[in-house]
Structure 1
């Protein structure tokens, strides 16, 4: 899910007959703007977290500082977003904070705080899994709280879905794409992540 998708979901308004629109003015309201900033900060935080394990020396310290700044801003802006969501999207906020999305919200808070603590203490072995767990908890919490609506509370995903025939074609295309993509990803990681003794020794020193 991209940052643009999150912003659009935050600003959608139903107009009937299963359609939804996004007025330009709605995109400039505080909640969509904060949602977009959150998505950008998530990407910035993840990038810094991953690169702390791929670098060393001054460059690693630079990514560590960037990760701390992005992570700290992310936690603060998340709290602001929850306050704004209670007014802009009360149904979603209720599902996220008191309903089925609550476990994911709690997990996101714990993993985010633990990830920042590990980054502060330079425990780089733990930073990456905690960062990934934090982002997954955020995205799954949003999705679970949103379900079953595409546009809460007017349009469900089932109502917005394509016909079964079109979905079948999509799944076939997805499988064909996977046959091409999976080997390509394997070769990519094989090329850049392994096979060189010096790279292996440097990777061990980064733990």
Structure 2
């Protein structure tokens, strides 16, 4: 019987252009030689004000204030209740988007909070499965995704479209069928978290 549960909380961006979904080669997996397309966004962080609560749950942290941690499985309900209150943790994916679009992919030279508007937010809890995350392979993981449907301002959308035409781009557009099969038309893996873009 499993007594520890790995929890991984992320905010992901659902970006639709021409009835297709914008995804990017996952930066961390690329560093390990793996080509996998995933949604924009990334791990959420908790604020220092949540530390005592999480410590009382018996949390074992993977990396500082990241909401990637392990807790006793019987504490999941308490964690879940806290998470849905949306207090003392990240509730915006602006920093992640800025890091990806500006620093990593160089699609924009700068990005303000006015670059996009939030159209819809839903929370998704996929079934618990062993993770394939490098360094944590095989650990039973409960993922929890906040899916942000966003629309970029016209000038930012134009820069995204230009980036998609470049030979060295790590961005691509995929359709529903590609996401459902888990592969692009060119045979590159599409991560299972892309399935939640279809919700």
Same-fold call, TM cutoff 0.5: no
Q: TM-score range by the shorter chain?
A: under 0.3
Structure with more of its chain in strand, by fraction: 2
Structure with the greater relative contact order (CA < 8 A, sep ≥ 6): 1 or 2? 2
Q: TM-score, normalised by structure 2?
A: 0.27
Give the greater-gyration-radius structure (CA).
Answer: 1
